Amino acid sequence: MGTTPTYGIYYDDPSMLALGRTQDQKQAVTIEAALSTVAATAEASTSEKIQQASEQMQTQMDALTGEVGESIEAVKENSLVPIEAKTGGSYEVGTNFRGRLLLSGAESLAALGVPSDGDSRLLMSIEAPSSGTYEVGTNYKGRPVGGGVSSEYVESQVDALPDVAQRDLLRDRARRTVAAPRRTTAKAVVAIVADDYPAATLDIFAPMMKARALPWSWALNGNTFDAGYSYAGFSVGKSWADVKAMAAADGVEICNHGATHADVTSVAQMKAEIIGSRDRLRAETGQDVLGFIPPGCDFPEGVQYKTAPLIGTKGELALVGTAYDRWVNYGHAWATGTMNNPVLNDFVHPLDGAPRMNAGRQWLDFPQDAGVKPAGIGEKLIDKAVANGGGVILGLHACYIEGGGAAQRMTRAGIEGFLDRLKTRRDSGEIEVVTMTRWHFTEIGK
């Protein structure tokens, strides 16, 4: 099974260093996840064993959360440093301060024997409004002294620990799903994703892919068959049972697409929209649901995929610290987005065996078969991927195929011709066509 991974969290912010912990004496909370049982059961093909593995992983996550909470409480109880200021003013304290009278400045630290070596991380400033004894530390709450790290920040880091562990567990599972830690290929790699629209997808698109033995993935909303669903008119006559049966028979990967396919207006709604949808899809399909594909909607905190392409223009840093980042990027093994390749300025992505987080995809469903015609938008991108040794994600909505229920953009002849040419390139060894999880964990080699 290999070595069980160990997850460590290190405290090296100024206030923790102020407790006497040097760079060589970092405190660590070590979390060892016993993955052997999960790995063994996850390798089984039956839905019963997959469900058992999911339950065991959830049990481990619950235990992990408890261990982290207990550990951080122990740290916080000993995190206050008493500061005695003889007069009001600005002061600094170093890592080996032990209740001495507080003196001002780096020179005073040197006199106390603090080996700062010019490293500002060894210093923590406070502002004393008058003489007196003050406390600073990780659970500092509203006292009239600056410095330290707020309790809110500490709690946010504690909250993030299970998320990080969950993401690592999911990525381990994803690697087992693709049968190797990393897959290496010299070919360009193509993934095809259909979004939403169960009726047209099941009746039109799925049979086309099955006839050519082409793998594909399906981005679905957790509320797809619920009353009041955004696109309920395109789900008529279909059910979760139909989705599950087709996916199991054809090897189609189900991906999380959010619960409602509607704008989310508050952070409080985010967990239900993202994680609630993921868990619903797992329950309805029996799959692990390892990845997230965002709908064209807006989310709180400036994460916008509809009114303004914020992520596409500002990059991944726009996501950092948002609820979207937490529930999407840490609640899944991988996620797509709108990011392009800044070198090629298109959606040909370099693949190195690690998930290409927030990678953008190319749509095929343009009017008049523009995305699927010979030498059209789709094939030109594949040609570029072959030339550069990269991966591409191609997306479509089956409702836009002739007879799919929406205004036609692709004729049946057009999309089938595209798939025929794709199959020919696959069969010749020029490209590889894979599901989304396999795409993200492929390493393209030469």
In tens, the pLDDT along 118-152 reads 444 344 556 677 777 666 543 333 333 334 444 45
Give 136's DSSP letter. E
Shared domain for 161 and 283, answered yes or no, is no
User: Do 41 and 49 touch, CB atoms closer than 8 A?
Assistant: yes
**Weakest-pLDDT range from 199-208, 224-233, 337-346, 435-444:** 337-346
Top-ranked range on mean pLDDT: pick from 15-19, 60-64, 236-240: 236-240
Domain CATH for 349: 3.20.20.370
User: Do 403 and 156 touch, CB atoms closer than 8 A?
Assistant: no
Shared domain for 87 and 120, answered yes or no, is yes
The closest of 369, 364, 373 to 418, measured between CA atoms, is 373
Q: How many CA atoms lie within 13 A of 317 on its CB side?
A: 2
Structure tokens at 377: 């938008």
What is d(CA 393, CA 22) in angstroms, rounded to the nearest whole number? 47
Q: How confident is the model at residue 88 (pLDDT cuts 50, 70, 90)?
A: confident
Among candidate residues 155, 177, 199, the one where a domain is terminated:
177
Q: How confident is the model at residue 418 (pLDDT cuts 50, 70, 90)?
A: very high
What is d(CA 265, CA 323) in angstroms, rounded to the nearest whole number? 12
* Residue type for position 118: G
Q: How confident is the model at residue 47 (pLDDT cuts 50, 70, 90)?
A: low
The closest of 94, 95, 18 to 103, measured between CA atoms, is 94
User: Do 293 and 256 touch, CB atoms closer than 8 A?
Assistant: yes
Shared domain for 51 and 4, answered yes or no, is yes
Number of domains, the chain? 2
Shared domain for 151 and 113, answered yes or no, is yes
Handedness of CA 27, 21, 321, 153 (dihedral sign): positive
What pLDDT shows up at residue 40? Answer: 45
Shared domain for 268 and 390, answered yes or no, is yes
Shared domain for 311 and 185, answered yes or no, is yes
User: Do 216 and 192 touch, CB atoms closer than 8 A?
Assistant: yes
What pLDDT shows up at residue 340? Answer: 84
Q: What is the CA radius of gyration of the chain?
A: 26
What is d(CA 299, CA 273) in angstroms, rounded to the nearest whole number? 10
User: Do 215 and 177 touch, CB atoms closer than 8 A?
Assistant: no
Among candidate residues 159, 177, 195, the one where a domain is terminated:
177
Shared domain for 2 and 94, answered yes or no, is yes
Residues facing residue 8 across a β-bridge: 30
Shared domain for 294 and 218, answered yes or no, is yes
Structure tokens at 410: 């692709």
Shared domain for 253 and 208, answered yes or no, is yes
Among candidate residues 143, 160, 177, the one where a domain is terminated:
177
- Between 221 and 342, whose confidence is greater? 221
The closest of 72, 75, 80 to 97, measured between CA atoms, is 80
Q: Which domain holds residue 35?
A: 1-177
Residues facing residue 56 across a β-bridge: none
Alpha-carbon dihedral 359, 429, 246, 409, rounded to 10 degrees = 60
Total-model pTM:
0.67
Helix pair 240-250, 277-285: axis angle to 10 deg: 70
Shared domain for 211 and 343, answered yes or no, is yes
Distances (CA, A) of 213 to 192, 252, 437: 13, 11, 18
What is the mean predicted confidence (pLDDT) over 140-166? 55
What is the mean predicted confidence (pLDDT) over 384-402? 97
Shared domain for 28 and 136, answered yes or no, is yes
Top-ranked range on mean pLDDT: pick from 33-42, 175-184, 272-281, 298-307: 272-281
Question: E strands of 112-178, at which residues?
Answer: 124-128, 132-136
Q: How confident is the model at residue 53 (pLDDT cuts 50, 70, 90)?
A: low
Shared domain for 219 and 366, answered yes or no, is yes
What is d(CA 378, CA 442) in angstroms, rounded to the nearest whole number? 21
What burial letters (b/e) apply to 12-41, b meaning 16+ CB within 10 Å? ebbbbbbbebeeeeeeebebebebeebbeb
- Between 8 and 136, whose confidence is greater? 136
Q: How confident is the model at residue 51 (pLDDT cuts 50, 70, 90)?
A: low
